[in-house]
Structure 1
Amino acid sequence: MTVTLSDTARQYIALFEDETGATAHDCVVLGDEDDDEKRVIFVVKPGEMGQAIGPGGKNVQSVEDQLGADVELVEDANTAATFVANALAPAEVHHVTISENNDTVAYAEVEQADTGVAIGTGGRNIETAKLLVERHFDVDDIQLT
């Protein structure tokens, strides 16, 4: 699946990679410049999450300061199931099943205590995960079980 990046997203990826030394495969900007809730989500190459975060969160904090936004990181994956689990982190996901009927739906089995974490305040986390998995794997929905 081809991911289309805006000019702003390309600029943010360049800044992210310069600051962290990690590779970003995607960048999604939610909110605008004047929005107090502006978030930037980077999809990081597998195995480079530690490098992206940096010691004590130093690298990601530097990117946040420069962008004036909250930065969230999701580790990329080769399969839709693994990507869904990564997108729902830090919630503990035990298993993901992809069902392809009329729509493609990912059923994620989440630790009961982590259901709130997976959903997030106002559904923020689950909606972000849905957006990313649709961009990368053509999955239409995520359902928590």
Structure 2
Amino acid sequence: MSVKFTNHEIKYIALFETITSAMVKDCIIDDEHNKITFLVKKGDMGLAIGKNGSTIGKMQKSVDRSVEILEHSDDPGEFIKNLLSVADINSIEFGVDAKGNKIATLDVDSKSKRKAIGKNGQNIQRARQFAKRQFEISNIIIK
């Protein structure tokens, strides 16, 4: 599935790739929380973060926003675990809902459900956006 980027996203992706030398697969701009989340190619996390976080720090200063970096994977299970790495995910099951949409159901450790959901649901919302854009997964359900 190919993602269509806005001019705004293209500008940030170009800047990020110039500063970090990491390849961006996707980008979500969250104006409400003044945050940009970049999805980088598998293996490019080190480049994106830099020694002691220097590269990501440079990026944050350049855009005057919080910057988050996540690693892509071609495996949807590993991909979702990367998106919600703050939580302890025991298992992931993929299925189809009554309307024929792909869904992922996560068995998350009870102590880390709050982390998976995030403040005001922003972690799970971001994960759902990336999963939809990258794998056409319509919903991620935490149980």
Per the TM superposition, whether the score is higher than 0.5 is yes
Listed as ranges, the matches of 1:50-129 within 5 Å are 50-101=46-97, 102-129=100-127
Conservation of the 8 A alpha-carbon contact between 1:82 and 1:96: no
Structure 1 vs Structure 2: percent identity of aligned residues? 29
Deviation, structure 1 residue 109: 2.1
Cα shift at 1:51: 1.6
Give the alignment of 1:3-14 within 5 angstroms. 3-14=3-14
The answer as to 2:120 corresponding to 1:133 is no
The answer as to whether partners of 1:85 and 1:108 remain within 8 angstroms in 2 is no
**C-alpha contact 1:105 1:139 (8 A) present in aligned 2:** yes
How far, CA to CA, are the matches of 1:54 and 1:66 in structure 2? 15
TM-score of the superposition, structure 2-length normalised?
A: 0.92
Report how far residue 45 of structure 1 moved. 0.3
**Distance in structure 2 (CA, Å) of the matches to 1:48 and 1:111:** 28
CA distance in 1: counterparts of 2:57 and 2:126, whole angstroms:
20
Contact 1:27-1:40 within 8 A present in 2 as well: yes
Residues of 2 paired with 1:3 and 1:93: CA distance? 27
Corresponding residue number in structure 2 for 1:17: 17
Taking the aligned partners of 1:94 and 1:56, their CA distance within structure 2 comes to 30
What are structure 1's unaligned runs of at least 5 residues? Answer: none
- CA shift, 1:9, in A, is 0.9
- Deviations along 1:101-126, whole A, 9 cap, x unmatched? 43211112222222111110111100
RMSD over equivalenced CA pairs, Å: 1.3
Shift of 1:95: 2.1
How many Å apart are 1:7 and its aligned residue? Answer: 1.1
- TM-score normalised by length of structure 1: 0.90
Inter-partner Cα distance in structure 2 for 1:92 and 1:47: 22
Q: Please state how far the C-alpha of 1:92 moved relative to its aligned partner.
A: 2.3
